[in-house]
Amino acid sequence: MIENQNSDDPVREIRIEPAVESDAESLAAVSRRAFEHDVNYGSPGISGPPGYDSPTWQRQAMKKGRYYKILEGDRIVGGFIVFPLDGEKAELGRVFIEPDCQNRGIGGRVLAFAESAFPRVRHWALDTPSWNLRTQYLYEKAGYVRVGEIDPAGRFTLIQYEKKLA
């Protein structure tokens, strides 16, 4: 679906494809490593969002939204979910990337892919933990704007972002 176009780019060739149920175990393992690695970026503990390490949760998410896997060669190195809200609104959820593949431009490619794969969506929403300055930088660099804060589980604040396309 999306491939590296520039051989000088630090991102090796990646592909983004729809996830299938047989990917659930691998996606859960990558998700677990990615979210637990966030302790190195300010996470208050070694954990993640509900179901982050559960293959069952991954399969359920595939039914609720458009779940994509990020591949480098044949290796699943990440995933993300697009939850369509209506014809022109969508939420980007659970973007996660294998720790050894982070900081290589893959996150930016995911955001660009989502916008191009859903051309009717004019209003994107997402959230990220207040302690994760790295993801806040990524989203703001991609044109997302802070619109609020929530603390849904009473554990930590999530920064809410939106991006409106012309």
Q: Is the pLDDT of residue 58 over 90?
A: yes
Query: Is 6 inside a domain boundary?
Result: no
Q: Is the pLDDT of residue 28 over 90?
A: yes
In this prediction, residue 80 has a pLDDT band, given cuts at 50, 70 and 90, of very high
Task: Tell whether pTM > 0.75.
Answer: yes
Query: Is 154 inside a domain boundary?
Result: yes
Query: Is 1 inside a domain boundary?
Result: no
Q: Decide: 79 and 96 in contact? Cβ < 8 Å.
A: yes
Backbone φ and ψ of 66, nearest 5°: -95, 105
Query: Is 49 inside a domain boundary?
Result: yes
Q: How many residues does the chain have?
A: 166
Give alpha helix (H) positions in the chain: 24-37, 55-64, 106-117, 133-141
Ramachandran region of residue 103, left (φ > 0), alpha (ψ -120 to 50) or beta? left
- For the chain, how many structural domains are there in total? 1
Q: Is the pLDDT of residue 123 over 50?
A: yes
Q: What residue numbers bound the domain in which 93 lies?
A: 15-164
Any idea what the CATH number is for the domain that residue 102 is in?
Answer: 3.40.630.30
Closest CA to 80 of 104, 110, 50: 110
Question: Poorest-confidence range of 10-14, 105-109, 129-133, 141-145?
Answer: 10-14
In this prediction, residue 9 has a pLDDT band, given cuts at 50, 70 and 90, of very low
Query: Is 88 inside a domain boundary?
Result: yes
Query: Is 61 inside a domain boundary?
Result: yes
Per-residue pLDDT, averaged over 111-122, amounts to 95
Query: Is 5 inside a domain boundary?
Result: no
Per-residue pLDDT, averaged over 123-131, amounts to 93
Query: Is 3 inside a domain boundary?
Result: no
pLDDT tens digits, 32-52: 999 998 887 777 778 788 889
Q: What is the number of other CB atoms lying within 10 angstroms of the CB of residue 2?
A: 17
pLDDT confidence of residue 11:
52
